[in-house]
Structure 1
Amino acid sequence: MRPTERYVVNCSILFGELPLLERPAAARAAGFGQVEFWWPWPGVPVPTDAEVDAFCQALEDARVQLTGLNFYAGDMPAGERGMLSDPARSLEFRDSVGVLVRIAERTGVKAFNALYGQRVDGVSPAEQDRVATQNLVYAARQVGAFGGTVLIEPLARGLNGAYPLETAADAIAVIDRMRMEGVENTTFLFDSFHLASNGEDLAKVVHAHAAEIGHVQLADAPGRDHPGTGDIDFAALFGALDAAGYAGRIALEYKPAGATDFTWMENFPT
C-alpha cells in the first residue's frame, strides 16, 4: 500500500470496528496523514465543550490533519440526510454552524459538506429550496470568513429517503443559485458511488463539470465497498480527472465488508 498526500480517509465510515475517537490514530497507523468526518454527534447540533475538545484532541494526538467535515445533518443513523431545506429546523442547523466554526478554528479544516435535506410533507419543494438557499448562504458566509468552502453532494436514490439532489445537474443547480446570491465558495462534491448508482457516466460528469468539482470521494458501485468490488471503471475515472486537471484531495468513503484494510490500494493509482 502506498497512501499518498492525495488520499484522505473518511473516519466516519471506515474503521467502523473502532470507537470514533480511536479512528484518527488508526488512520495514522495505516499510513494516512489526512482524515475527514461526517458530523461526529448524530442528532446533536450543539455538543458539549468537552465533547468538542475530545474530538479535536483525538486528531491532534494522532497527528492527522482534518481536511473535511460535514455540517450537522440530523440523525444520520436514523435516516436523516441534512436539514438545510426544512423550515422547522433552520435554527437547529444555524446553531450547529457555530460549533463547526470552532472546530475549524482549532483544526484548520476548510472543506464542509452540507447535505441538503429530504423533502418533508406539508411544505412545497419551492419553499424548501428557498429555505435551503438561505441556510446555505448563511453557512457559506460563516466559513468563507476563514477561506472555507461548502460542498454540495447528490446522493443515491432509494437509499436516502426523499433526498432531491440525485445528479450532478441537481448539485450544480444549487451552486448556480448560490452564485446568484453573490456566494462563490460553494462547489460540487463528486462521489463515485452516489453518481454511478444513479446512472451517471462518471467521465462525462467530470468533463462537463470540472470547474465546479471541489472534492472527490471514492467507493465502488454497486455495494459501496472499496474500488474493485463493483462495476466502476476507476482507470477511466482517474484518466478523466487527470485530463480535467483535478489536483485536489481524493477521499476513501467506502463501507468495508469486514475490518478496515487497505491492501487493495497496492495497485491503485497514486
Structure 2
Amino acid sequence: MPKFAANLSMLFTKVDFLDRFQAAAEAGFKGVEYLFPYDFEAAEIRRRLEDNGLEQVLFNLPAGDWAAGERGIACHPDRVAEFREGVERAIAYARVLGNTQVNCLAGIKPEGVSDAEARQTLVGNLRYAADKLADAGILLIAEPINTRDIPGFFLNRTEQALQIFDEVAGDNLKLQYDIYHMQIMEGDLAPTIETHFDRIAHVQIADNPGRHEPGTGEINYPFLFAHLDRLGYQGWIGAEYKPAGRTQEGLGWLDAAR
C-alpha cells in the first residue's frame, strides 16, 4: 500500500506553517514534505514531527531568492559557492529532522548562459552535493519540472535528467518523478515509471489540468497507484497539489488509496 506524505507548502496553507504538521496528521498523512525548513529552528520542526507521529520525508536544498522568483541555483555558473554553502545548511537540518533524502532544484537558466555551460555547472553541483550528502547518509534527488509552470526551468524531461545523472556518476543521485510535471512534458506515465523504476526514489502527485487533487483531472491515479504497487515501490508519494477547495474536503482520493 502506498505511503503518502502531505506537502505542507501546498496543503493547509491557511494554517500557520508549524501548525500544518498537526493538520496533516489529523488528515491521515504519515509523513510530510515541504519546500524549505530554513525559516524555522530545526529543533522546533522536529518537535512538531514527534508530537504528531510524522516522518520527515523531503525538503529542498536552498534555492536562491524564492520570493523574487528564483527556482534553484544549481545551473547558475556564478552561484557555485552559494550552492555549496546551501548543501552544508541542508545537511545540518536533515540531521536534526531525520530526513534521509533532499531534493535539488536545477533552477531557471540565467540569461546569457549557454545550455552547455548550464549543464556543466549542474553536473558539477550535483556531483558535489551527492558526495557530501552520501557522507552524511542522505540521498540526493532531483526532478524535472514542466516549463509551463516554470518557464525556462533547465531540467524538464525524464531522459534529460537521467543523462545528466549518468554524467554525474555514482549511486547517491536518484530521480524525483513528479507525475503532474511529467504528464505535461511527456505523458506515457506508466511505461516511463516502469522503464526507469530502479532510478526513482520519490514520487509526487497532482492532477492535470489545474494541479489540483487526484480525481479532478485527466490522470488515472487509481491505476498508477496500483501500478507502483505492482512494481514494488517502497518510497513515499508526496501530495504536492493545490486543493480545489478546502483541503479536508478534497481528501477522498487518500481514503480510497489506503
Is the structural similarity TM-score above 0.5?
A: yes
Which range moved further: 55-64 or 93-102?
A: 55-64
Aligned counterparts, 1:230-241, within 5 A: 230-241=217-228
Q: Does 1:185 align with 2:175?
A: no
Select which of 247, 254, 265 maps to 2:234. 247
Q: CA RMSD in A?
A: 1.9
- In 1, distance between residues paired with 2:65 and 2:27? 29
Dislocated runs of 4+, deviation >4 Å: none
Select which of 50, 58, 76 maps to 1:68. 58
Select which of 75, 83, 98 maps to 1:108. 98
TM-score, structure 2 as length reference: 0.92
Contact (CA 8 Å) 1:9, 1:253: kept in 2 or not?
yes
- In 2, distance between residues paired with 1:269 and 1:158? 29
Aligned counterparts, 1:1-270, within 5 A: 6-41=3-38, 51-179=41-169, 183-261=170-248, 262-265=250-253, 268-270=256-258
TM-score, structure 1 as length reference: 0.88
Alpha-carbon offset, residue 189 of structure 1 = 0.8
Code of the residue aligned with 1:17 in structure 2: it is K
* Equivalent position SS for 1:265: helix
Contact (CA 8 Å) 1:203, 1:240: kept in 2 or not?
yes
Code of the residue aligned with 2:30 in structure 1: it is G
* Equivalent position SS for 1:268: helix
- In 2, distance between residues paired with 1:250 and 1:266? 11
- The number of residue pairs the alignment matches comes to 257
**Structure 1 runs not aligned, ≥5 long:** 42-46
Code of the residue aligned with 2:117 in structure 1: it is E
- In 1, distance between residues paired with 2:243 and 2:203? 18
Identity %: 35
After superposition, the Cα gap between the structure-2 partners of 1:109 and 1:267, relative to the gap in structure 1 and judged at 3 Å, is closer
- In 2, distance between residues paired with 1:164 and 1:102? 27
- In 1, distance between residues paired with 2:88 and 2:50? 21
* Equivalent position SS for 1:211: helix
Contact (CA 8 Å) 1:206, 1:244: kept in 2 or not?
no
Code of the residue aligned with 2:216 in structure 1: it is T
Alpha-carbon offset, residue 259 of structure 1 = 2.6
Code of the residue aligned with 1:7 in structure 2: it is F
Code of the residue aligned with 2:195 in structure 1: it is A
Alpha-carbon offset, residue 245 of structure 1 = 2.2
Alpha-carbon offset, residue 239 of structure 1 = 3.4
String of CA shifts for 1:57-98, please: whole Å, max 9, x gaps: 433443322111111112334332210110121222211222
- In 2, distance between residues paired with 1:123 and 1:71? 22
Alpha-carbon offset, residue 161 of structure 1 = 2.3
